[in-house]
Amino acid sequence: MKRFILFAALLAGGFAASAQEAIWGGGEVVSPEILPDNRVTIRVLAPEARKVEVTGDFLPAQRVETPFGQADAAGVAALVPVGNGLWKYTTPAPLAPELYSYTILVDGFRTTDPSNVYAIRDVASVSNVFLIEGGRADLYRVDDVPHGTVSHVWYPSSVLGEDRRMTVYTPAGYENSGRKYPVLYLLHGMGGDEEAWVSLGRAAQILDNLIAAGEAVPMIVVMPNGNVARQAAPGASPLGLERPTPQLPHTMDGVMETHFPDVVKFVDTHYRTVRRKEARAIAGLSMGGFHALHISKQYPDLFDYVGLFSAAVEPDASVSSPVYADSDGKLALQFSKAPKLYWIGIGSEDFLYKANEEYRCKLDGMGYPYTYYETGGGHTWRNWRIYLSEFVRLIFK
């Protein structure tokens, strides 16, 4: 009996030691370290490496060629060896307040920072993140304010003949208030999914903080999956742990727009919503901006607020769909019904800037009112978080 007790004690001790290894094994290298003056130090332990680099959006951008023309890519900086296999890089100047992302390159092999547990997936890539607080970036923090609830919800689509997944944000107090709320339908870009706005866009934090400050009306935010060839985000559908890709069929061919009333119908029958045009908004980034543009004019009695964030505008010339037919006539009908807000935001270096400029010229020529918001930079989440925080301040008021 004593031998059994001793064996059990040793076994338990072994598990404890193993657990302690898991707890303490990763705590030796501090990275990233945000210094008091908002410079940032990245450290990597790589004793066998010949070269270690960091690439991220806090570094000076590089111009690269893409299928859509020139665009900004994340900059690259070299870490220097400081002894005992440790490599280090410190930004030469303080960083402006922002949520930044980065990855590590070890002898050309891209990986995440092993000392930073905070990582986000964007399509098929995973990056670490860190937050420099202050100014607008404080909207991206989890502050000590009342918090809304984020749920992943499945809904039936009669048009597509399948169940599909969406993410829904309900504001603080929704569960017990008994009141009805306006709804913002918030759409992701190409390669994204129903998780993008809450993970990359910090939508829940932005809404929580603006609502708590009285700068935004309490609202429900519905974030559907805009990829009609996929029921849900990678890993959350019957397809299993497939590799994410932006190259999906039926992304901008009218199918998403055709099935969208299924989304609105489900939300209006399963949530306490104000079921009127003046209590509905639709907005989206890039491909989602394209969908918001065409959904809002296809169903001109559904939405009184429209937000186009770095939006694609025209369908590909090879696409034929009734959704895109008589575009000028549908736009005329939409504006004859006097939407309360038609909001366009884009970065001055965005590869879609010219297309948006031409679209604004078209609206100007037809005398259709809109609000325009221009930032610096390009086709990035840094801009889309700004556009969301500006747009939600203006709607439902």
CATH class belonging to 29-132: mainly beta
User: Which of 35, 44, 52, 134 lies closest to 91 in space, CA to CA?
Assistant: 35
Indicate the range of 51-65, 81-95, 165-179, 371-385 predicted with least confidence. Answer: 51-65
pLDDT of 23 above 70: no
> 29-132 and 143-394 share one CATH topology?
no
Indicate the range of 19-33, 216-230, 284-298, 319-333 predicted with least confidence. Answer: 19-33
Domain boundaries, given as residue ranges, for the chain: 29-132, 143-394
DSSP E strands in the chain: the ranges are: 33-34, 40-45, 52-56, 62-66, 69-73, 75-78, 80-83, 86-90, 98-106, 109-111, 119-122, 125-132, 149-157, 162-170, 183-187, 220-224, 280-285, 305-309, 341-347, 371-375
Q: What is the pLDDT of residues 271-320, one digit of tens each?
A: 999 999 999 999 999 999 999 999 999 999 999 999 999 999 999 988 99
pTM of the shown model: 0.90
Average pLDDT of the segment spanning 29-37: 97
User: Which of 156, 165, 275, 142 lies closest to 223 in space, CA to CA?
Assistant: 165
Contact 171, 148 (CB under 8 A): yes
Above pLDDT 90, what percent of the chain? Answer: 82
Q: What is the pLDDT of residues 115-133, one digit of tens each?
A: 999 999 998 899 999 999 9
Looking at the domain 143-394, which fold is it?
Answer: Rossmann fold (3.40.50)
Average pLDDT of the segment spanning 248-264: 92
